[in-house]
Amino acid sequence: MPKKSSGASSNGLETLFEDGLKDIYYAEKKILKTLPRMAKASQSAEVSAAFEKHRVETEGQVQRLEQIFEQMGKAARGKTCPAIDGILEEGAEILEEYKGAPALDAGLVGAAQAVEHYEIARYGTLIAWAEQLGMTDALHLLRETLQEEAATDKALSALGESDANERALQAA
């Protein structure tokens, strides 16, 4: 049996939604800072271009989140996301441990896909909650972003399969 709620607006779905927004807002801003480093480190022009393309998209994603906060009448504020901190930390390890190695790009592509999958999980949930809350405008914005994350994940898979994994294998 659920405990008696202390009120519809406190710690209900809307609060959960707002907390989720803060989590992904923190994550997106951190990803925005990391993508240029990954673009710079990657050995192939294609992998580098994919990171740069997604950096530009990520700027737009941050703006979409700010629009949603504004629609809710809330200040755009992030809340530390330990998951993205950990995922990016693993990416930084790859960067350091595979510097100059043939497997670097394969490792970076894999690290970036872990980021995309976290984002896909979070946006998927936020979309479901926005739907439930009847937040139509937010719903559209979140769907646009989810579509970009999914397309990025696909593009990274293709890059790994067509190029980076092959180069990594050659030196195995």
For Fe ion, the binding residues (CB under 5 A) are 23, 28, 58, 61, 81, 83, 119, 149
Q: Pick between residue 28 and residue 105 the one whose CB is nearest to Fe ion.
A: 28
Asked whether the beta carbons of 28 and 62 are under 8 A apart, the reply is: yes
Q: 3-class DSSP state for residue 168?
A: helix
Residue 153 contacts by C-beta under 8 Å, 6 or more apart in sequence? 113, 116, 117, 120
Which residue, 32 or 101, is less far from Fe ion as judged by CB? 32
CB of 108 to Fe ion, least distance (A): 14
Q: Minimum Å distance from CB 20 to Fe ion?
A: 8
**In the bound complex, what is the minimum distance in angstroms from residue 86's beta carbon to Fe ion?**
10
Q: Which is nearer to Fe ion, 40 or 166 (CB)?
A: 40
Residue nearest to Fe ion (CB): 81
Q: How far is the CB of 170 from Fe ion (least distance, A)?
A: 29
Distance CA 147, CA 107 (A): 24
Which of these, 13, 27, 14, lies nearest to 149 by C-alpha position? 27
- Looking at the Cβ atoms of 42 and 58, the one nearer to Fe ion is 58
Shortest Å, Cβ 169 to Fe ion? 26
Nearer to Fe ion, 105 or 119 (CB): 119
Between the alpha carbon of residue 15 and those of residues 10, 21, 55, 137, the distances in Å are: 7, 10, 29, 18
> What distance in Å separates the CA atoms of residue 104 and residue 53, rounded to the nearest whole number?
19
In angstroms, the CA 50 to CA 156 distance is 8
